Structure 1
Amino acid sequence: MSIQILADSGCDLPYSFLQEHDITLIPLIVRLNDQDYEDLITIQPKQVYDAMRSGQIVKTSQVSPLKLKEVFTHYAKEKRPCIYIAFSSQLSGTYQTAMMIRAEVLEEYPDFQLTIIDSKCASLGLGLVVAKAAQLAQKGMPYEQLCETVSEYCRHMEHIFTVDDLEFLARGGRISKTSAFVGGLLNIKPLLHVEDGKLIPLEKIRGRKKVFKRMLELMEERGVDLQKQTIGISHGDDEEAALELKKQIEEKFGCTDFLVYPIGGAIGAHAGPGTVALFFLNKQMEA
């Protein structure tokens, strides 16, 4: 029986992509107007960004424990081996909850083969790992080897991103409102990356043109065999900016394989409209 890949909506792969590649979606929760929605299923990214632009407060929470138990139990009954590649434990409590629910399900189905991997990744950084895992599972890679390969991909996935409006980070308590106000006046675009699953500020740069230039410099410094990779670009309802970055990468590095998708509601609620994120590997992978 083939291995089933599970992923939460923190991977920012569209629902259509997940269905096409037989990846089971476990949605994070988006709360808007006192109502809870399942990310990518009952609420779409565009709705979240439009609400944020209109000044509404969007909140998020981890995957429902009931949903996790429902999904795990379903595959336990089928006796189907599963690998759940989870959103970074440094950014969500979903991984810890999933480990707890796994223990509960194993009490009833002790032979159930389920590995939960803390990806330490986010958005399409996670998405690229999930897509590769599904591809390798379909090719018949053995279970233990697939777990090891997925973990290796996670360890070497680079995340570099910028936000367009500091106000959204201020709303979420990531920076002070004064910093957001001054940054907005000066057209400051913070550049951040992910280190051991955590969001870490790198630099403050004035203007998007200079930010993209710096992103390409970091890509050149950190990336390996870029033209042989699938490059991920996600965006906060700003496809034009994402495609501009894609064009620059094509011209500079000769890359031809890209995944370019909107950032889902769960992550977008914190990053805000206009966010642009770039993902690539810093090590050559055999698989």
Structure 2
Amino acid sequence: MILGGPMNKYVIATSSTSDLPAEYLKEHNIPFISYTYTIDDKVYIDDCTEESRKFLMASMRAGKQPNTSQITEYAYYEFLKEILEAGNDVLFVDMTRALSSSINNAERAIKSLSEEFPDRKISLLDSYCVTGGLALFLKQLVKRHEEGWDYDQVVEWGNAHKFEYIHRFMVEDLQWLRRGGRLSNASALLGTILSIKPLIYIPDSGKLVSFKQVRGRKKALHSLIDSCADDIADYTKDEEILIIHADAYEDAVAFRNDFIKTYPQFKDAKISIMQLGPVIGSHVGPDFMAITYHGKHRLNIEK
């Protein structure tokens, strides 16, 4: 496990659902706890490496259906206790509770640890984000930590700004949502026949909400870009835009180019491309595309 060095009075930790590369997490001294997924009764660990992400996508393209598992209370307890025992306070930042009840296990573990370490600070920050949105949010927390902000300042900033990180997704194949129990057989079949691509948004609730359905991949990707006009914030040099793909790198590059053509004010912005991790990837399948960025505020499109 990566633990805080001498300059750190506290550690920011997270789970593998930020989809940040293992190299970044190591460089910035961010411990992470891994989710697991199962294929053909064999359990695999999401270790935040490109190899794991490529393996999952290759398996899904071969017709395998992965299943993800919650992180247990005991696993959270052991993970966080090690950080505390090393002399650090800890801020644990996780994916939105609307997509996984694992965070409830984290809360119970933190309650127990707070009683064991009464003089230490240990907090759970529900980001109401996932994958690229969580990655961007986490990077901003880490930036402030490395600039010397104290624990309470970072927690306060996180709670004040977490709803400003925008997620827009496109799912390529509705059959993956059906297999994962998130869509009926009839809806998936009809959507596949008509080549319907749902566009998905995360409002303040942290839930996945379909805000539009478009026929055809090319039109759907253009529509995803156009929709960003509703909530994207003005360009600032310390922010980043993330494009997340599931085994569709060339499409992600084209998507980035089209985004810049549509929004030329972002031509000098840092627009990075990242491969989707196994946790969300298990439910949406190959050729998924997403864009996450700092926004003015999330839209009220709850359904």
Q: For 2:72 and 2:181, how far apart are their aligned partners in 1?
A: 24
Instruction: Say which of 265, 273, 276 aligns to 1:260.
Output: 273
Instruction: Say which of 24, 27, 32 aligns to 1:17.
Output: 24
**Contact persistence 1:44–1:265 (CA under 8 A):** yes
**Contact persistence 1:87–1:94 (CA under 8 A):** no
Hey, which bits of structure 1, 4+ residues long, moved more than 6 A? none
* Unmatched segments (≥5 aa) in structure 1: none
1:150 matches 2:163? no
What is the TM-score normalised by the length of structure 2? 0.88
Q: Map 1:146-185; keep pairs closer than 5 Å.
A: 146-185=154-193
Letter in 1 for 2:288: T
Residue 3 of structure 2 corresponds to which residue in structure 1? none
Deviation at 1:24, TM superposition (A): 1.1
User: Aligned residues: percent identity?
Assistant: 29
**Contact persistence 1:4–1:81 (CA under 8 A):** yes
Deviation at 1:65, TM superposition (A): 2.8
Instruction: Identify if the C-alpha distance between structure 1 residues 240 and 41 changes in structure 2 by more than 3 Å, giving closer, same or farther.
Output: closer
Deviation at 1:119, TM superposition (A): 0.9
Q: For 2:72 and 2:36, how far apart are their aligned partners in 1?
A: 8
Q: For 2:153 and 2:48, how far apart are their aligned partners in 1?
A: 32
Deviation at 1:218, TM superposition (A): 1.8
Instruction: Say which of 97, 102, 107 aligns to 1:99.
Output: 107
How many pairs are equivalent?
Answer: 284
**Contact persistence 1:233–1:242 (CA under 8 A):** yes
Residue 80 of structure 1 corresponds to which residue in structure 2? 88
1:32 matches 2:39? yes
Residue 224 of structure 2 corresponds to which residue in structure 1? 215
| RMSD of equivalent CA atoms | 1.7
1:225 matches 2:243? no
Letter in 1 for 2:42: Q
Deviation at 1:89, TM superposition (A): 0.4
Instruction: Say which of 172, 197, 210 aligns to 1:201.
Output: 210
1:250 matches 2:260? yes
Q: For 1:226 and 1:215, how far apart are their aligned partners in 2?
A: 19
Instruction: Say which of 246, 252, 273 aligns to 1:236.
Output: 246
**Contact persistence 2:21–2:48 (CA under 8 A):** no
Deviates more, 1:256-265 or 1:37-46: 37-46
What is the TM-score normalised by the length of structure 1? 0.93
Q: For 2:157 and 2:117, how far apart are their aligned partners in 1?
A: 26
**Contact persistence 1:226–1:280 (CA under 8 A):** no
Deviation at 1:227, TM superposition (A): 5.7
Q: For 2:33 and 2:183, how far apart are their aligned partners in 1?
A: 30
Deviation at 1:180, TM superposition (A): 1.9
Q: For 2:159 and 2:290, how far apart are their aligned partners in 1?
A: 21
Q: For 1:163 and 1:153, how far apart are their aligned partners in 2?
A: 27
Deviates more, 1:143-152 or 1:196-205: 143-152
Report SS of the residue matched to 1:48: helix
Letter in 2 for 1:40: D
* Unmatched segments (≥5 aa) in structure 2: 1-6, 298-303
Letter in 2 for 1:18: L
